[in-house]
Structure 1
C-alpha cells in the first residue's frame, strides 16, 4: 500500500512537470501602426483554443499558453489581424497593427485611376478620413458633414434630406471635383452635386480623401477648390460583413446589411449591400425615404489581371424646404418651411394644422451607376488601369400644384440623363528614380429636361399647346414620386411633356500625363492635361421644328508642378504651382435653354485659375502637424445666383455675373497629438482672405428665364460669401476602457458673408460655434473574438446653438430696420439645425 501511494505520488509529480513543461508564457506589446502609439484592448488568443487575454492601456500583454509551441493571433476591430508563432517562453516584442481600412489595403481595383495623394512622394495639402471614423460619425448625414472637421471645409446642411452643400477654401462644390473610385460624378451641365443621389456611398466607403487646392489628381479636370476622392469597397480579401440598425431624431430609421464572400480559390469575390431609410426630417414637412444598394463582383484569374464590376444607386424621394426671410424663421422657429400647399386630398399629402397638405417641393430621383474596372500588371515596371462607367439618371422636382377647388395636377420639372465614360491610366517605372503616368478621360452626356404631370388630382387629363406640337392632350403621369418607377418610365413621349422640353449633348475628351522624380530626400513632379468639350443644345418646345444650336467647342488645359525636400524623418517641406484654363459650364453658354438655344452675348470664354501653395510637415511619436499656405486667383469666372426666392415666386430674380475675378489666399494648420495613452486630441485652424477684384457684368432674369436687364457692376474688395473665411476646431477621443470610448468635436466659424446679387456688398454674418459628441462601445464575440457588436451614439449641436447658416441677400441693417445680430431680417436666410441625434447598433462578422 505504501509503495502504491509512492508510485501515485511520483506519477502525479511527473504529470504535473509534463503539464508545466508544456505551458509557456508569451509577452509583447501591440501598437497602432499609423500613429505609433499603444493599442489598448487588442485581443490576443492562442490559436485553436479559447485561451486569450487583452492588452492593457500601454498595449502590453502576457498570455500563459496551453501548449509549449504554437501560434497566437492578435486582433482588434478595425485593424488587420496578425498571427505570430511561439516556442516556449517568448517575448514577441512590439507588434504594429495596421488599420484594415488603410489605403494600401482598400485600393484594389482601378488603383491607377483612383488619385490618392498617398501614391505621390511629393506631398499636397490633404486630409484623409478612414472607414472607422466614417462609420462612427456619419450617422444619418451626408459626406460634407463628415468632412467638416478638416481645414477649410464648411458644410451647409440645407433644409431637406440630401440637400446640403460643401465649401472648400471658399469655393462651392460645383468647383470642387468629386470622384467615386476614379469616376467623376459632378454634374456635367453645371458641376453640381446632389447628395441625395449618393446617400449610400458612406455605408461602403473605405476612405475619403480631401485634396485641397491643386491636389494630386491625374485626371484631365480643372478643380478650383480641390478634389474629393471617395473610395468604396470593391474586392474584399476576407469574408465578412455587417448588419446595422439606426434610429434618430424626427422618426429617422435606417437599416443596412452588407456581406462579402472574400476571394475564393478560383479568384472570384462577391460583395453586396442593401439599406432602407425613412424619416420626417428636421425641418417641418421635409419627410423622405429611400433605399441604397451596392453590388460588386470581382475576378482575379491570375496575378496579372483583376476585374471588378460595381453597381450602386440610391433611389429616394424627399420633400424640400422653401426659403424664407430671416424674420419668418424668427416668428415660426428654426423648423419653419415656407413650401406648403394645403387643402388638397392627395395620396401624397401630410396631416398638418390646416388639414391635408401637399409638400410644396419634392425631389425624387434614381441614378444607378455601374462601372467595370480592369487592372493589368503588365510586368514589374508597368501597369494599366481602366474604368468604363455609365449612369442613367431619372427623376426631378415636383414643385407646383396647378388647379382650383381641390382638383388639378401636380407639375414636375424633370431632369433625366444618360452618361457614359472611360478613364484609363498607364504607369511605367522608367528608372529607379523616374515614374511616368499617361492616360485618357472620355465622357459623353445627354441631359433631357422637361416638365410633366407627376400626379392628377380629381381629373385624368389636361389640354396643352406648344409651338412644336400644336394642340395635344396629356394623359400620362411621370414618376409619380416613385424613384424606382422613374427609371422604367422615363416619359420618352414628346406629346406627354408640358411647358418646356429641351436637351443637350456634352462630349468631353482629355489626355493627361505625369512625370515623378524621387531620389534620396528630394522628390518632384510635373503634370499636364489637355481636354476639349463639345456642346449641342436642342429645343423641341418653343420652335415649330426641332432646333439644334450651333456646336460649341472649348479647348482647355492645366499644368501642375511641385517639389518636396525631406529634411529628416521629422521635417518635410514642399511647394506646388499650377495653371488651369477651364472650359465654362454648359449652363453658362446659352441665354436660357428653357426658352432658347442662343449663345449669350458676349460668348463666355475659358476661366483662368492660377494656384500656388507651400507646406511644412512635422511628424514625431507623440505629435504631427501640417502647415499649408495657398494663393488662388480665379479670373473670368461666371457666377449664377438668385435672390433666395422660390423660382415660382413673382419676386424671384436670377443673376448671371460674368467676368468675375476672385483672389483666395490663406493659411491652414492641422495638428494630431496623443498626449496620453488613452487620449487622442487633434485640432485645426484655417484663416482665409477671399475677395472679389475689379468689375463685372451682371444679367438679371425672371422666374421664366427671361432676361430683364444687364448692368456693369463694381465688385472690387467685396468679400466672397457662402462660407466662413476663418474656421477652427478641436476634436478628441478618450478611451475609458478597452473598446469603450467617448469623443467630441468643437467647430468654430467666423468672418462669413452672404450670397446673392453682387450689385451691392455682401453682408457680414454673425460668427457661431457648435459642439458634437459621441459614445462607442464594442463587444467582441465568437470563439476567436473576431466578431463584434458595436453600439454608437451621436449628438450633433449638443448645446442647441442657434445660428444663421446661410443668407441670400444684401439689404443692409439700419437703425430703423428689424435686425438679428446685425443682419436685416428682411433678407432671406436659413438657420442651422438644432440638437440632433442618432443611435446605432452594428453587428460585424
Structure 2
C-alpha cells in the first residue's frame, strides 16, 4: 500500500511539474502589421499577467497547462487566445477598434461617437492613453493635439490653464468638446476655459479629434471639429499607478490612481487623486490645483451596465496684463507687473480661480441582440471667476510700487463713524480694492440614444439631448486692502448708487465652491441668465462589404432669458424669453477599394442659434433686433492607404460660415456696434502619415495648407449709450482679409527609436507659417476700401524631445521614467497678436512687426521629469 501512495504522489508531482511552464508570443497591430508594445496579456480568471516589450513580445510563467489568454491594448479589440500546452502561442494580431480603450469598459457607447478607421467617413486623429501619459507632462491640454493637421495651439497669456486651440481656423467656440459624450463648451458663448479642466490629462483614456463636421449624433454644431475626451470608467482588471513629476520653475505634481477591476458580482471602482503647483514660466505667475476622479460601475448581467462618475480640478493661478512688443523687449519676455507688496506680503492683482465638478450617471441597456439604449444624465456645478483691481487708474507708479511697499489706502481719513470707506469715482488714486468677476452656473442635462439593427447592413439611431443652464454673473470684493467698506458708485436701480459693501470673499477655489453672495454685496453688475435647450437626432447607417455610409440629422430649440438686478426696478428684472430653432443634416460614405486603399466623402449643413452673448444689446435686456441663425456648410473628401509598414491620409475640405452677427462695445466705451453679413470661407488640404520601417523605429508626420479668409464685405450699425442708431449701413471692407489667430500652413514630423530594451528616445518638430494677427473689424483699417488686411506674424518652428525608460520590475510592477524637453532649441517667437497695427516707414519693428502691437510670446525651453510605478 505504501508503494501505491508513493507512486500516486509521483504521478501528482509530475502533473504539477507539467502544469508549470512558460508561454511566449508576439502581439501585433492587425492593421499595420507592426508590434504593439505595452499590450496587456492576462490568464483569464487569474491575476497572472504581463506586458509586451517594445517588439511586442511577451514571456509569461503559468501554473496551468491549459486556459485562455486575454490580450488587450488601447484602441484595439481585446482577443481571447486558448492554450492547451505551454510554449509559443505564435503571433496574435489585434484589430483596431476605437471603442476598446486600454481595457476600459466604455459606458455610454451609444453616446460617445468615436470614429472607426476605414469605416467612418471623416478626418480623424486619436491620441492614446500611453502618449498622453508620456508627453502630457506639465503641458496644457490643447498642446496634446498640436501635432495634428490644421490644429493651432497657443498658451495665450501664459498662465496655467490659459491655453487655447483652433481647428481649421475656427476658434474654440466653434469646436465641440465632449467628455464621455457630455458637452462642455460654455452655454453662453461656446468658449472653453482650460483652467477648469486641468485634470483632464490625468483621467483621459483617449482623445479623438474629428476635424470638420465630425460624426457626433448630438444636436451640436461642430464647425471646426469635435474633440471627444474619453475618461476611465470601469477598468476590467485590477491595478493602478503612483507618479511624481518635477519641472521648470519649481513645478511639482503627484498623482495616484487605483482600479479594483470587475468583481465576480459585477462591481468595479476607479479613483484618482492628484496635486500640482508651480511658479509659472512668466514672472509671478504661480498656480496650484488638485484633481479628483471617482467612478463606480455595476454590471448585474450582460444586458445592463451602470456607471457613476464624478471628477473635478479646482485651481488657482495668477495672470498678467497685455503688453506691447516694445515693453516685452525692454523688460523681458516674461515680464509681469500685476503684483505688489502690502504690509510685507506678496499680492498678485490679476488671476483666476475656479472649481467645476461634473458628475454623470450612465446606463447601457442591451434590450436584445438587435437593440440597445444608452443614456447619460449629467450635472455641472461651477464656481469661480477672475481677479483684478476695481479701479484700473490706481495702477499708477505712485500707488503700485513693484520694488517695495504696496501703497494703497495710506492717506484716507476715517468718516464720522470711524470707518475708512472709499468710492470708486472719488478721484482718489490712493484707494482701491481687489474684486473678482464671478461666473457661476448650475447645468443639468440628459443625452439618450436608441440603436436598432434593422438587418446585417442597416442600423438606425434616434435620441435626444436636453440641457438646462442657469448662470450668475456679477462682481464682489476679494480684498478691501485696508478699507472697512467700499462704495462702488454704480448706478444700481434697486439699491441706489451709494450702498456700501462690507464682505470680502476668498478666491480659494475650494472655499468659493460654497460661497453664496447676497445681492447687496454685489458690485459692478448683476445679471443672471437661463438657457434651455432640447434637441432630437437620428441617424441611418449602412455597412456591407467594402461600403459604409450614413445620413444623420438633428433639430433643436433653445430659449434664452436674461435678468438684470442693476438696471431695472424690482419686478422688471426679466427680459423677454427668446426662442430660436436650429437644425443640422450630415451625410457621408466610405469605400474600401481593397485592403490597402479607401476613399470617403461627407457633406453637411447647420443652421445654428446665436449665442447668448450676441442675443442682448448694450449689456441690458434689450433683444437684438437683427438676430439670425448662423449658416454653416461643409464639404470634405479623403483618401487613405494602409500597409504593414506605412499608412497615410489625404483630406480636402471647404467650410462656409455665413450670416454671422457680431456685437460688442466700441473701444471708446461710448456706444455699441453690430456687424451684419460677416462671412468666412475656410478651405484646405491635409496630409498625415505613419511609417514603421523597423520594429524598434517609427515615424509620423503631417502637413496642412489652409486658405481661411473673409468672403465679401459686411455692414455695420453703431448705437449710442441710449441705443439710438448713430450710423447705419457703413461698409466694412473684409473681402479677402485673412482670418487671424491660427497658422494656415503647418508641417510636422516626429519619430521614436528604441536603441536598448526599454530605453527609447522620441522627438517632434512642428513648423508654423501664414499666421496672422487677430483683429476687430472696428479697427479703422477695415473702414476704407484699400485696407491692408491683417498683420502677418513671423513663422517659427518648435522641437520637442523625450527620453523614456520602461522597466518591468516583475510580472506585477512596471517602472516608467520619463524626461520631456519642450522647445529644445529655445526658439523666440510670437504665438499671437491681439492688435493689428501695420508697420509704417520709420516705425520700430520686431521681425517685421510693429512693436506697438500687443502680443503674446510663446514659452522658451521648458522641461519636466517623472517617475511612474504601475501595479
2:775 to 734, 756, 759: 756
- Cα drift, residue 205 of structure 1: 0.5
How has the CA–CA distance of structure 1 residues 776 and 460 changed in structure 2, closer, same or farther, with 3 Å as cutoff? same
1:569 to 585, 592, 595: 595
Which position in structure 1 is the counterpart of 2:472?
448
In structure 2, distance between residues paired with 1:48 and 1:235 = 17
Does residue 371 (structure 1) correspond to residue 360 (structure 2)? The answer is: yes
How has the CA–CA distance of structure 1 residues 274 and 698 changed in structure 2, closer, same or farther, with 3 Å as cutoff? farther
Which position in structure 1 is the counterpart of 2:648?
625
Does residue 475 (structure 1) correspond to residue 496 (structure 2)? The answer is: no
Q: Give the secondary-structure state (helix, strand or coil) at the position aligned to 1:530.
A: strand
1:509 to 517, 531, 534: 534
Cα deviations by residue, 1:479-531 (Å, 9 ceiling, x for unpaired): x111111111131x110101211111111111100001112222211100000
Contact residue 148 and residue 155 of structure 1 kept, 8 A: yes
- Cα drift, residue 708 of structure 1: 9.3
Which position in structure 1 is the counterpart of 2:300?
301
1:406 to 373, 390, 408: 408
Cα deviations by residue, 1:708-748 (Å, 9 ceiling, x for unpaired): 97743110010111101010100111112222111100001
Q: Give the secondary-structure state (helix, strand or coil) at the position aligned to 1:146.
A: helix
Which position in structure 2 is the counterpart of 1:353?
none
2:514 to 488, 505, 520: 488
In structure 2, distance between residues paired with 1:744 and 1:653 = 51
Cα deviations by residue, 1:178-232 (Å, 9 ceiling, x for unpaired): 0011110000000110001011111010111000001100000112101000000
How has the CA–CA distance of structure 1 residues 653 and 674 changed in structure 2, closer, same or farther, with 3 Å as cutoff? farther
In structure 1, distance between residues paired with 2:791 and 2:196 = 32
How has the CA–CA distance of structure 1 residues 762 and 830 changed in structure 2, closer, same or farther, with 3 Å as cutoff? same
1:49-60 aligned at under 5 Å gives the runs none
How has the CA–CA distance of structure 1 residues 147 and 107 changed in structure 2, closer, same or farther, with 3 Å as cutoff? farther
1:178-327 aligned at under 5 Å gives the runs 178-327=177-326
Contact residue 154 and residue 166 of structure 1 kept, 8 A: yes
In structure 1, distance between residues paired with 2:252 and 2:181 = 31
Runs of 5+ consecutive residues of structure 1 not aligned to the other structure: 1-13, 350-357
- Cα drift, residue 106 of structure 1: 3.4
Contact residue 654 and residue 684 of structure 2 kept, 8 A: yes
How has the CA–CA distance of structure 1 residues 592 and 107 changed in structure 2, closer, same or farther, with 3 Å as cutoff? farther
2:766 to 732, 740, 747: 747
Which position in structure 2 is the counterpart of 1:114?
112
Contact residue 394 and residue 490 of structure 1 kept, 8 A: no
Q: Give the secondary-structure state (helix, strand or coil) at the position aligned to 2:384.
A: strand
1:550 to 561, 576, 581: 576
Does residue 587 (structure 1) correspond to residue 613 (structure 2)? The answer is: yes
In structure 2, distance between residues paired with 1:513 and 1:317 = 42
Q: What's the C-alpha RMSD, in Å, of the aligned pairs?
A: 3.4
How has the CA–CA distance of structure 1 residues 476 and 115 changed in structure 2, closer, same or farther, with 3 Å as cutoff? same
Which position in structure 2 is the counterpart of 1:427?
451
The alignment of Structure 1 onto Structure 2 pairs a total of residues equal to 809
1:768-783 aligned at under 5 Å gives the runs 768-782=796-810
How has the CA–CA distance of structure 1 residues 345 and 467 changed in structure 2, closer, same or farther, with 3 Å as cutoff? farther
Contact residue 368 and residue 393 of structure 1 kept, 8 A: yes
1:146 to 140, 144, 147: 144
TM-score (norm 2): 0.86
- Cα drift, residue 360 of structure 1: 3.1
Contact residue 532 and residue 560 of structure 2 kept, 8 A: yes
How has the CA–CA distance of structure 1 residues 520 and 769 changed in structure 2, closer, same or farther, with 3 Å as cutoff? same
1:808 to 811, 823, 834: 834
How has the CA–CA distance of structure 1 residues 264 and 655 changed in structure 2, closer, same or farther, with 3 Å as cutoff? farther
Does residue 729 (structure 1) correspond to residue 753 (structure 2)? The answer is: no
In structure 1, distance between residues paired with 2:474 and 2:840 = 44
1:683 to 691, 701, 720: 701
Q: Give the secondary-structure state (helix, strand or coil) at the position aligned to 1:328.
A: helix
Cα deviations by residue, 1:395-439 (Å, 9 ceiling, x for unpaired): 111111557752342122111111111111010001111100001
Contact residue 33 and residue 97 of structure 1 kept, 8 A: yes
In structure 1, distance between residues paired with 2:501 and 2:259 = 47
- Cα drift, residue 262 of structure 1: 1.5
Q: Give the secondary-structure state (helix, strand or coil) at the position aligned to 1:133.
A: helix
- Cα drift, residue 604 of structure 1: 2.1
Which position in structure 2 is the counterpart of 1:669?
687
- Cα drift, residue 172 of structure 1: 0.6
Contact residue 245 and residue 864 of structure 2 kept, 8 A: yes
In structure 2, distance between residues paired with 1:747 and 1:622 = 23
How has the CA–CA distance of structure 1 residues 25 and 662 changed in structure 2, closer, same or farther, with 3 Å as cutoff? closer
TM-score (norm 1): 0.89
Q: Give the secondary-structure state (helix, strand or coil) at the position aligned to 2:852.
A: coil
Judge which range, 509-518 or 584-593, deviates more.
584-593
Judge which range, 436-445 or 805-814, deviates more.
805-814
Which position in structure 2 is the counterpart of 1:352?
none
How has the CA–CA distance of structure 1 residues 460 and 767 changed in structure 2, closer, same or farther, with 3 Å as cutoff? same
- Cα drift, residue 72 of structure 1: 9.5
Does residue 523 (structure 1) correspond to residue 541 (structure 2)? The answer is: no
Cα deviations by residue, 1:250-306 (Å, 9 ceiling, x for unpaired): 111111111111121222211111111111111112111111111111111222111
